[in-house]
Structure 1
Amino acid sequence: MDGRFLVGLIGANIGTSMSPALHEREAGRHGVRYLYQLIDPTLLGLDGRDIGELITAARRLGFRGLNITHPYKQDVVKHLDELSPEAALLGAVNTVLFDGERATGHNTDRYGFAQGLARRLPDVATGHVVQVGAGGAGAAVASAIAGTGTRLLTLADLDSDRANRLARAIMRSSGTTVEVIAPADVSGRLRQADGLVNATPLGMEGHPGMPVPADHLRPEMWVADVIYRPLETELIRAARHRGCRVADGGGMVVYQAAASFRLFTGLTPDEERMYADFEALAGPRHA
């Protein structure tokens, strides 16, 4: 590469994304020219059916690669030439790398969630974890949770077929037992669970709400969220008030960004430096 990189993010309602700043600041410290563009199909009058055209256009315009976020992480898969082993396992892509005429899909979300959880909650029990959401982010989160040695992962999603596909993929690749339940049954499972993870858009800007009622959160539980806009979601706030240990979505966004930066540039990012950038951009957070 010649030290110049054009990359971007495809997603809905991404106007407040911190990805451009995280990538561009780290690139500046490496002395490379790096432009990170936001591409919101909803502002262009497009939808998920047009994602393939956006991928083709970005490649022809000279993009080095793209990040992909909600709600296109699974839709994009069929428009790519190749998948990394992890992306193929999860059926979800958050990073596309262009090499000539080929577009290869990767998934750095699994690494991002695993590192973020380990940073914020390094010593929590993960014997039984309840996860709400089996979409693009949920696939990576479920794989990361299984990687902690979880014996039982309870997975809930409005799309039971999608949840069952993910459950089968996780059980094929790990020693974790995955049970699929309806979202209405989540509260009952929380009575004995070690932790709860929200991998749905609930709590994101434009998607107010919580995946479970606050009074079903027990102080003995830990609670994690994949959302970082806002950093303190309704779920994180309620969990903290009830005495739960919490992990917001900040760690996931930083570490997946660092892994994507490495793919785009071939350079080794300073993850601690990028985490400090995130904290400066996000402002004060609760302990």
Structure 2
Amino acid sequence: MVKNELYVLLIATLFILGLLFALLFYLVIRKAFGIRKRSRVELKIKDSENQIFIFLREGKFNGKFKPETIIDKMAVEELLSKYAELLEGEEEKANLTSLAEHYLTDYYRYRLKSGRWSIRMNALFHIEDFKMGSLLRDIYEMLNKKRISQDEIIHVLRILATMQSDKINGLLTNRFINLSEYEYRNILIRLDGKGFDLFVLGFHKSQRELQYAILDVMGVKKELSYLSFVENIFSSYSGEIKLRALKTLGEIGYVTNIDSFLPLCSSGKWEERMMAAKLIGVIKEKKGCKAW
């Protein structure tokens, strides 16, 4: 009986040791392949860096530059990621987008369909950084997938806003109506004047979190063209919306008639007193709030 138990224990121990050695062997082989792959990418980066730099500066393709393998495309991706953070000129940025669309469109289209969440998200980050309009339809179609994470949804909406898609207004006002204020703000801030103004026009029908985000973005933009609208919101709404409008006016730094805001200095709500004091301080009026 004891011998049988020892025999079973020995077999189990050997089995576990075998699994551990197999796992160790797998990790060593995987590490070796990773190091080799990284070396090949770095070598390709050195070979391609000068050609890519010339294209970004002059906008001319080199006939010898043909990234076809996965290693080639990984090298191009790394180089473009580096330049995307450094470039300031609009022409150079346009050249970067052109190069990315020319060589990486199929690469990212394939990765967007990957079964791994991390690969799809990584592709979305690069598509956004490179402003690849060639993948706009593919990105939009991701929203129709049954299995899509919240992170992917937000990132897709961000990209659509960055590329000024005409679908973004309908998506935020009709379909994705339960996002947080922060998520809405992160999307709206990427819109140009025309795209953002559509949300301003639909403000009164929008969900509350979206309204907060619209007012917040107006404060960030600080454009006087929104002054009349924000003052109207302040006078016609109550509660949190009224307070948010007051905050936005403080960010804009101007009001049509400061006298209409002075009564807030003695408001029973400390939030209104604080915002009124800030507004008056920004406008640098001689009239101030009494101490409270």
TM-score (ref. length: structure 1): 0.25
Q: Which has the higher contact order (CA 8 A, sep 6+)?
A: 1
Indicate the structure with greater helix content. Answer: 2
TM-score (ref. length: structure 2): 0.25
